[in-house]
Amino acid sequence: MRRAAPLAALALLGAGCGSHASTKPQLPTGGPPGVVRIALAHLLWPLDPARARTRDEIAVARALFATPLRTDPRTGELRPGLCSSWKRVGRGWSLRCRHPQEIANELKRTGLASNAVARGRTLNVGSPNAPYLLTEARAAPPAVPGPFQLIRASPTRIVAERGGLRLDFRQVDPATAARLFRHGKLDEAPVPLGDLQAVLRDPRLRSAVRIRRLRAVDIVVAEPHGTLVRFPKVRRAYGETADRADYQALVPELEAPPAENLVEPPAAKVARAAALAYGRAKSRVSKLPQVAVRFARPADPDLAFGAGLLVAAWRDIGLGPYFANGKPDVSFERLLAPYPRPGALRAAARGETVIPIAWVADARLVSRRLRGWREDELGAVDYARLKPPG
């Protein structure tokens, strides 16, 4: 009996060790009741939906301003907004709306539909693509109440409320935001550039990661009358020798494919053809005109990093890109589809000469407090669908 007691103690100790080792580390889930604390790299300021350009700015605009129509986050189908019904009339559309005159004024101000006319509660728009144009954030009339009521606002913090739910948008750099999220001080935060794979391996954070491939492409834009417009063969060489593989690995971190066009990600056959074209184009670089191509350095840190990768790779094979102030030949931008349709990106490019580089993946840390959180392919989150956190 005396020998059995130590053996039993060892068994209990072993069971305790195993139980402790299997305990999964948890993130804090507390927070102020009814408040959603959202970190964004960019806040919309001034608060004008027509000025919303980036994914983050559009997220704020959609929370504060109501669009004439909306799209279903799952299917992309049209849904009522300020307008309750719509029908085709000739080449245009007729819609039954609240605040039709304010909508018509905004469509003219932004240039979305200069022929918009309001009569009574009817809005007539001559564009055949009008319903989807009316889902854009910049179609929202700023004087009309939106989903959330603005409580207070500054360039770095915007607070809005709807019923028992309060949104607290804060402008925070991604590295700081991730640290605050880890300590339970935020409910939503962007994953910093270059950290995604590490976060996915972190036992505390990986269950909080939400990754969404967006209908968006990082592109090189050849400015009118710039070097790449004046030298088409040089422009073609830039397009065929862009280091999309390194860019894909280091910016979307393999969560989005390289881009060969503005329509759809490449199939395997297209990717192989692009690889062959890269080899041929690289061998012809020495025979091209030796021209310098001035790049504008992007203000966004993530895009600046990506542009630096591309410029370094092009210089390595003998092309002449460089960063400098002054009138640029080229800019590097993130092109976001304004609505979920196959031709939306081409429409957003507005006929510009572009070199697509990579599709975009958006990665966010989202607390378990946020029930009903969902990001659509445009990067939009319908915060009105959230259940107020306890």
For the stretch 318-353, pLDDT in tens is: 999 999 999 999 999 999 999 999 899 999 999 999
**For residues 35 and 28, what is the distance between their CA atoms, to the nearest angstrom?**
15
The predicted pLDDT at position 29 comes to: 83
Q: Are residues 153 and 124 in the same domain?
A: no
**For residues 225 and 294, what is the distance between their CA atoms, to the nearest angstrom?**
12
Reported as a single tens digit per residue, the pLDDT across 44-63 is: 999 999 999 999 999 999 99
Beta strands in 49-109 (DSSP E): 69-71, 78-80, 83-89, 92-97
13: three-class secondary structure by DSSP: helix
pLDDT above 90 for 5: no
Number of domains in the chain: 3
Q: Are residues 274 and 358 in the same domain?
A: yes
Q: In CATH, what number is assigned to the domain containing residue 77?
A: 3.90.76.10
Q: Are residues 102 and 84 in the same domain?
A: yes
The predicted pLDDT at position 277 comes to: 75
The predicted pLDDT at position 271 comes to: 60
Q: In CATH, what number is assigned to the domain containing residue 223?
A: 3.10.105.10
Position 121 confidence tier, pLDDT thresholds 50, 70, 90: very high
The predicted pLDDT at position 304 comes to: 98
Q: Which residues pair with 97 in a beta bridge?
A: 83
The dihedral sign for the CA sequence 315, 257, 359, 199: negative
Structural domain contains residue 381: yes
Q: Whose CA is closest to 147, among 167, 130, 126, 117? A: 167
pLDDT above 50 for 33: yes
**For residues 366 and 128, what is the distance between their CA atoms, to the nearest angstrom?**
38
Cα separations in angstroms, 239 against 11, 222, 236, 247: 66, 11, 5, 14
Q: Whose CA is closest to 223, among 350, 354, 355, 330? A: 330
CB–CB of 15/193 below 8 Å? Answer: no
Cα separations in angstroms, 77 against 42, 54, 140, 341: 28, 23, 18, 10
Q: Are residues 333 and 230 in the same domain?
A: yes
Angle among Cα 182, 151, 63 to the nearest 5 degrees reads: 70
Helix axis angle, 232-241 relative to 268-284, nearest 10°?
130
Name which residue leads in pLDDT, 264 or 130. 130
**Averaged pLDDT of the chain:** 92
pLDDT above 50 for 11: no
Give the pTM. 0.90
Q: Are residues 344 and 376 in the same domain?
A: no
Q: Are residues 326 and 377 in the same domain?
A: no
pLDDT more than 90, % of the chain: 85
Structural domain contains residue 201: no
pLDDT above 90 for 178: yes
The predicted pLDDT at position 280 comes to: 82
| Residue numbers of the domain that contains 335 | 214-362
Reported as a single tens digit per residue, the pLDDT across 127-176 is: 999 999 999 999 999 999 999 999 999 999 999 999 999 999 999 999 99
pLDDT above 70 for 294: yes
pLDDT above 50 for 290: yes
Q: Are residues 322 and 273 in the same domain?
A: yes
Place of tokens 């002054």: 326
Question: Which of these ranges, 15-19, 235-239, 328-332, 379-383, has the smallest mean pLDDT?
Answer: 15-19
**For residues 228 and 231, what is the distance between their CA atoms, to the nearest angstrom?**
5
Q: Are residues 345 and 375 in the same domain?
A: no
Q: Are residues 258 and 309 in the same domain?
A: yes
Burial bucket for residue 256 (CB in 10 Å: 0-12, 13-18, 19+): buried
The predicted pLDDT at position 273 comes to: 67
Q: Are residues 220 and 282 in the same domain?
A: yes
Q: Are residues 180 and 39 in the same domain?
A: yes
